[in-house]
Amino acid sequence: MAVPSKNVPAPDLVPVRRALLSVFDKTGLVDFARALASAGVELVSTGGTARAIGEAGIAVRDVSDVTNFPEIMDGRVKTLHPAIHGALLSIRDDAEHRQAMRDHGIEPIDLVVVNLYPFEEVRRAGASHAETVENIDIGGPAMIRAAAKNHAYVAIVTDPEDYASVLNALEMNQGALPFDFRRKLAAKAFARTAAYDASISGWFAETLAVEHPAWRAFGGRLDSVMRYGENPHQQAGFYVTGDSRPGVATARQLQGKQLSYNNINDTDAAFELVGEFDPQRTAAVAIIKHANPCGVAEGETLREAYLKALACDPVSAFGGIVALNRALDEEAAEEIVKIFTEVIIAPEVTEGAARIVAAKKNLRLLVTGGLPDPRAPGTMVKSVAGGLLVQGRDNAVVDDLDLVVATKRAPSEAELADLKFAFRVAKHVKSNAIVYAKDGATVGIGAGQMSRVDSSRIAASKAADAARAAGLGDSLAKGSVVASDAFFPFADGLLAAIEAGATAVIQPGGSVNDKDVIAAADGHGIAMVLTGVRRLRHSRRLARAARTPPRAGQ
């Protein structure tokens, strides 16, 4: 049964005569407190916040003077008191509430300014269990939720970025705050505590290795509002979770237009792909279009890798995303800017390369400071009607798999290197996925088809198109190897690859018809390697996996 309403209408304007300030992030605190005091607002504060205000020469009353009870237990208990929460939760137009306030000497609080212990940052830094627990804020969320619930009478501020708008609203309304303004602040406050609690519950699920907790929560902070989503009639915003995994969310944008919804989705796909390649071993480049690779290659230099990747499908590469696993250098930059490119993302960039890219003012250049670890765990989330699908990140790496040669002929050393390369790429191609590769480069990619046979034929067709574009007689698929992201249910998909010229194949295996498929491979003298690991990819929606040392309390 729901709690009955007092059915008291909220006043439009509430004068702000008394404010409680208790913040960990003290950005802009002193200036904000001084402006409030100059407007005649009495300031009540706690611990380090009170010290910062007092040392600035601003009159402030310690919360212990209000509660008549000292802060105890290293500041764990200071605002959890009826004198505070009664001041926040009282319905001022209710006679019983007013009488209770008089009986207990409770003075109303009209404005609450609170931000929280840095749990998300401490978690992201990988602090100890005890240190992380100590940064779970209790009093802060309690005050935020109390003030937000009672926004009919109390304004709650949780973000220093809102200080200016609060002062402007006070000035515009002769020292009062309007109901609609208070309600918007309350909405933001509840969202903040929800994201905070989501991070805490996620940390517990991680540390306890709970695969399927009874309740799951995911939170994020708005990073940017976009002009539109996947299509112009859709609204979109980009929310960051706080996960420190290098990528588009953590990158510095050095130049170019604002990233669009599709830019972010495609750039994430591109950078996750090149993260599969060790930069100490090889230079790697991925060119992505509509979240699918249209060319991937490795080489001695980024320039070599880029040109090999571009040769796979130069038509689709136009207007694509280019990701690199090493610092973008001048030689690679000169080649990339020769065709229209939406985004370049790399761990670093040289000064010379940055100057070259700067000539294309609309080209976005992102620098991440590192590469994503393909072996790291994480959580993938996809929304469906009425629910969320949640799974672990596909962090299986082909170098760690026990590969089994299923055919009479084993692959050569060169074929095996290309098979591993192709299987790395197939992991990042929408299913059904077929990838032809040769000499450390894709030569044909078939993606997103309902039939694996169709994917194989499309990839072969792409390889033939690339050969014609390069002025070569034979299809690039001749003498290549092929990777399939899932087993061949029948031999037809394999036979299409053999017909295109593939000499070796890598696939998960596991079909009831494996014997027939292997027999077909043996009948044509090609080598087949089984991985035992499937690579289906139907969507790309990444949520969190986060873990900065705490400082003294608020």
285-331 pLDDT per residue, tens: 999 999 899 999 999 999 999 999 999 999 999 999 999 999 999 99
Neighbour-count burial of 489, counting CB atoms closer than 10 A to its CB (0-12 exposed, 13-18 middle, 19+ buried) = middle
Residues marked active site are found at 149, 290
The more confident residue out of 540 and 100 is 100
d(CA 85, CA 145): 10
Do 374 and 397 meet the contact criterion of CB atoms below 8 Å apart? yes
What pLDDT score does 415 carry?
95
Query: Per-residue confidence at 542, pLDDT binned at 50, 70, 90?
Result: very low
CATH number belonging to the domain at 398-530, selected among 1.20.1270.360, 3.40.140.20, 3.60.20.10, 3.20.20.140: 3.40.140.20
What pLDDT score does 260 carry?
94
Written as six digits, the tokens of 263 are 């830019």
Query: Per-residue confidence at 552, pLDDT binned at 50, 70, 90?
Result: very low
| Span 3-61, pLDDT tens digits | 666 666 778 899 999 999 999 999 999 999 999 999 999 999 988 999 999 999 999 99
E strands in 168-217: 176-178
For the chain, what are the domain ranges?
Answer: 13-207, 221-367, 398-530
d(CA 444, CA 478): 11
d(CA 248, CA 269): 10
What pLDDT score does 524 carry?
95
What pLDDT score does 1 carry?
60
| Residue 217, φ and ψ in degrees, nearest 5 | -135, 140
Mean pLDDT of 106-133: 92
Nearby residues of 469 by Cβ (< 8 Å), 6 or more positions away: 311, 314, 315
User: If DSSP codes are grouped into helix, strand and coil, which group holds residue 530?
Assistant: strand
Superfamily of domain 221-367, CATH level 4: AICAR transformylase, duplication domain (3.40.140.20)
Least confident of 180-194, 350-364, 505-519: 505-519
What pLDDT score does 545 carry?
40
Q: 13-207 with 398-530: one CATH topology? A: no
The alpha-carbon radius of gyration of the chain (Å, integer) is 30
Identify residue 64 by its one-letter amino acid code. S
d(CA 141, CA 124): 20
Nearby residues of 543 by Cβ (< 8 Å), 6 or more positions away: 218, 241, 379, 380, 381, 390
User: Is the pLDDT reported for residue 495 higher than 70?
Assistant: yes
d(CA 492, CA 390): 34
Superfamily of domain 13-207, CATH level 4: Methylglyoxal synthase-like domain (3.40.50.1380)
Count CA atoms closer than 13 A to 2's CA, side-chain side: 3
Do 407 and 524 meet the contact criterion of CB atoms below 8 Å apart? no
Residue whose token pair is 């608020």:
554
- Residue (of 71, 76, 85) closest to 20 by Cα position: 85
What pLDDT score does 486 carry?
86
Query: Per-residue confidence at 543, pLDDT binned at 50, 70, 90?
Result: very low
The more confident residue out of 251 and 478 is 251
Q: Hey, how many other C-beta atoms are within 10 angstroms of the C-beta on 412?
A: 13
pTM above 0.85, yes or no: no
Written as six digits, the tokens of 391 are 């799974």
- Rounded to the nearest 10 degrees, how much is the dihedral formed by the CA atoms of 428, 431, 434, 439? 0
Mean pLDDT of 504-519: 91
HEC letters along 351-409: HHHHHHHHCCCCCEEEECCCCCCCCCCCEEEEEECCEEEEEECCCCCHHHCCCEECCCC
What are the b/e assignments for 423-454, b being 16+ CB within 10 Å? bbbbbbbbbbbbbbbbbbbbbbbbbbbeebbb
What is the separation of C-alpha 410 from the centre of its chain, rounded to a whole number of angstroms? 41
Nearby residues of 232 by Cβ (< 8 Å), 6 or more positions away: none
The more confident residue out of 73 and 190 is 190
User: If DSSP codes are grouped into helix, strand and coil, which group holds residue 40?
Assistant: coil
| Span 388-447, pLDDT tens digits | 888 888 898 998 999 999 999 999 999 999 999 999 999 999 888 899 999 999 999 988
Written as six digits, the tokens of 120 are 């998300």
Mean pLDDT of 127-149: 93
Written as six digits, the tokens of 33 are 């407190």
| Span 211-262, pLDDT tens digits | 888 888 888 889 999 999 999 999 999 999 888 899 999 999 999 999 999 9
What pLDDT score does 86 carry?
87
* Cis peptide preceding 263, ω within 30 of 0: no
Please report, for the chain, how many H helices and E strands are present, in that order.
19, 23
Mean pLDDT of 511-535: 90
Mean pLDDT of 496-515: 90
